[in-house]
Amino acid sequence: MIILSGGTGTPKLLVGLEKVFKGEELNIIVNTAEDVWISGNLLCPDIDSVLYTLGGVMDKKTWWGVKDDCFHTHNALLRLQHPEHLMIGDKDRATHIMRSELLRQGKSLTEATAMLARSFGIPDRIKILPMSDDPAAVRTKILTPEPEGELHFQEFWVTRKGEPDVLDVSFEGIDKVKPSEAVVQALEKESDALVLIGPSNPITSVGPILSLKGIRELLKWKIVMAISPIVGTEAVSGPAGKFMRAKGFEVSPSGVYTCYKDFLDVLVIAKGDECPTDAGVDVLKTDIMIKKDRDSKRLALFLKRYLQKAKSF
């Protein structure tokens, strides 16, 4: 199975997928458009969330960073008047240091991620694939009204707490970046593999992956299933609603469908929602809220049962 992931909704689902699809190879293609060099190290928020979730150390209260982390280095840097705008925990920073050292030694981001995955005890059958091997070459920019104007995603979401109105979202540098070789290979090699788009932000998490050259074309040849990150007319969490509206999509499961319409086969939405689609697209309804690990397992089992039934036809 191939999975497209951001840093919160899809990692929540990975907890169950890993258990329910035991023994199966999982290729997780992860967004890197929010990556940023900070205090000398490369922070890859979405890759880190996937590593921490599968490595069993995710802080599941906040869905970022390592559980029970401390902030001695961050606080010491502030005392030195080094402006570090993101709060980075010490254990979290250790991941960034190892990754950056590996990159400085000439390893690719894909190789560095594989080495980190091994260090976190993640089995070999699970491949965490950065969408591209050009570190921090794509920058998600959020256009807000003047005087602030254009903000980096992290500035908008962390420093400004997602408060400004959003006029547009863009991915600076995306035209110059290629999908990684491992990503293309996974999509080409596994010709009959299912592609699962987890309940991630369709604009800033899945959007950059889909914007890479050739990816949408490759997906047209696959069975693609997406889980809606929108319930009713609101995102379950985060700024997806604001971003979808700014890009001209309705904030609803129908809006999610429109984002993926050119290649989508199955859309999973909340029980109380409706989503008219073109012929040939299945809409499945179930509880898509993931509050505990058992919710993740239940949703993963629901997907597995549907796939088994679909295969038997």
Query: Interface with ligand GDP by CB under 6 A: which residues?
Result: 6-10, 12, 46, 199-201, 205, 227-229, 235-238, 240, 288-290
**CA neighbor of 205 nearest in space, from 10, 66, 15:** 10
The least CB distance from residue 204 to ligand GDP, in Å, is: 6
Q: With H, G, I as helix, E, B as strand and everything else as coil, classify residue 244.
A: helix
**CA neighbor of 169 nearest in space, from 230, 252, 240, 246:** 246
**CA neighbor of 179 nearest in space, from 147, 220, 201, 209:** 209
The least CB distance from residue 287 to ligand GDP, in Å, is: 9
The least CB distance from residue 39 to ligand GDP, in Å, is: 21
Complex with ligand GDP: residue 73 or 277, whichever CB lies closer: 277
β-pair type (234-235, 230-231): antiparallel
Six-digit token string for 136: 């921090």
* Torsion angle of the four alpha carbons 258, 264, 270, 274, in this order, in degrees rounded to the nearest 10: 50
β-pair type (139-143, 150-152): antiparallel
Complex with ligand GDP: residue 8 or 108, whichever CB lies closer: 8
Complex with ligand GDP: residue 107 or 245, whichever CB lies closer: 245
Complex with ligand GDP: residue 23 or 252, whichever CB lies closer: 252
Residue ranges with strand state E in the chain: 2-5, 26-30, 36-38, 41-43, 126-130, 139-143, 150-152, 168-172, 194-197, 223-227, 230-231, 234-235, 266-270, 282-286
Distance CA 200, CA 54 (A): 17
Distance CA 139, CA 37 (A): 11
Complex with ligand GDP: residue 8 or 113, whichever CB lies closer: 8
Complex with ligand GDP: residue 40 or 275, whichever CB lies closer: 275
Distance CA 95, CA 90 (A): 9
Complex with ligand GDP: residue 12 or 141, whichever CB lies closer: 12
